[in-house]
Amino acid sequence: MNAWEEGPALSEDPSRRGRHRPGALMGAAALAVFGVWSLSATLFGTRTVTMGLEGEGLDGEARVENLRRMNRALETELHLAEAGEPYILLDAPGRVLVLKSHGAVLRKFPVLEARVRVTRTPRRGRMAETALDTVWVQGALLPERKKERMVTLSDTVSEPDLSASVAYIPPTPEEEYPTPPAFRIRCSGGVSVLVRPERPSAPSEEESRPALSLPAKMAQWLRLRPWAPGFMRVELTMTEEEAGALYRAYTDGTPLVVSTTNGS
């Protein structure tokens, strides 16, 4: 008996192991994909919270409750504006995401479509109700935007060569951080915003690029961490330009308020 055959992990014929590996890997991958899909489908079902509770048409008690929620949203914004740090206000009925600081509008990102999806479980569903019109904190961008910094040591620098005809031109933000197919802002406590850029339907430069391979597509999908715990997800559709601008402008940790109420 060969020595390497004695180990428990190598107990079978290596030629047989080689034949079985692709099938086993594919099976495991399929199982993992199906498991993640089923997990996602279990947690985020079809229950959708209506956004944009109109003041008109509500009965007395519902109207009063709507007013209360509006006031709470305003109180929240007041706290954030007084704190002095930038914050994001997602005005769902107004279909706009506004980056503000000290109450001043810094930039607006129009939203084409917005909806809230919550977990199907009753307790978590109630928690989702409490998450509306409150502040979501410790947001983190997925996939993250990595900044590479070049470090120069002063004694390694020589006088610039003025005769050089080609100087290095760094990329634009759009070239450095192109709009991902989808991205998330994941906040603490199990709430997140999923942004999907709406690609132009007309033939474009985008379509002339080579299509992503299946592994690359899967890698992109996994970078969104679909298995990450959570009980509430706001899904936004934006134009590719606005989604890209938001992706490049968002700073991790920026507080986010989702407002689902509008005027009565």
Partner 1 sequence: MALGALALAFSGWVLVDRKPVRSASWREGGDAILHPSTAVRDSAELAREADRLRAERKRLEARVVALQPRGNYVVVDRGNNRIYLRRGDSVLVDAPASTGSGDILQETVGAKRTWVFDTPPGRFSILSEREDPVWTKPDWAFLEEGLPVPQRLADRRDYGSLGEYALDLGDGYMIHGTLYERLLGRSVTHGCVRVGREPLRAIVSKTRVGTPVFIF
Site for partner 1 in 10-39 (CB under 8 A): 27, 30-32, 34-36, 38-39
Tell me if 126 contacts partner 1 by CB under 8 A: yes
| Shortest Cβ 190–partner 1 spacing (Å) | 5
Distance CA 238, CA 245 (A): 10
Closer by beta carbon to partner 1, 60 or else 122: 60
| Shortest Cβ 210–partner 1 spacing (Å) | 26
| Shortest Cβ 4–partner 1 spacing (Å) | 30
Tell me if 252 contacts partner 1 by CB under 8 A: no
Tell me if 147 contacts partner 1 by CB under 8 A: yes
Binding segment toward partner 1, per CB under 8 A, in 2-10, 14-22, 155-163, 195-203? 155-163
135 three-class SS: strand
Binding residue (CB under 8 A) for partner 1 from 44, 91, 117, 136: 136
| Shortest Cβ 78–partner 1 spacing (Å) | 6
State which of positions 53-112 bind partner 1 (CB under 8 A).
Answer: 60-61, 63-65, 67-72, 74-79, 81-82, 84, 86, 99, 101-108
Distance CA 33, CA 218 (A): 9
Closer by beta carbon to partner 1, 61 or else 205: 61
Q: How many residues at the interface with partner 1, by CB under 8 A? A: 86
Single out the residue of 98, 139, 90, 146 nearest to residue 252, CA to CA: 139
| Residue 257 buriedness (CB in 10 A; 0-12 / 13-18 / 19+) | buried
Tell me if 199 contacts partner 1 by CB under 8 A: no
87 forms beta bridges with 100
CA trace torsion 83, 88, 89, 95 (10° rounding): 170
Token duo for residue 101 = 């600081």
Distance CA 47, CA 125 (A): 9
Tell me if 151 contacts partner 1 by CB under 8 A: yes
Tell me if 125 contacts partner 1 by CB under 8 A: no
Please give the distance of CA 55 from its chain centroid, rounded to a whole number: 31
| Shortest Cβ 126–partner 1 spacing (Å) | 7
Single out the residue of 179, 178, 198 nearest to residue 238, CA to CA: 198
Q: Strands 140-142 and 183-187: what pairing?
A: antiparallel
Binding segment toward partner 1, per CB under 8 A, in 3-11, 16-24, 123-131, 201-209? 123-131
- What is the H or E stretch that residue 104 is in? strand 104-110
Residues sharing a CB contact under 8 Å with residue 230, sequence separation 6 or more, in sequence order: 43, 119, 186, 190, 191, 192
| Shortest Cβ 124–partner 1 spacing (Å) | 8
Does the CA dihedral 183-100-84-66 come out positive or negative?
negative
Closer by beta carbon to partner 1, 29 or else 212: 29
Binding segment toward partner 1, per CB under 8 A, in 4-12, 14-22, 133-141, 201-209? 133-141
Tell me if 229 contacts partner 1 by CB under 8 A: yes
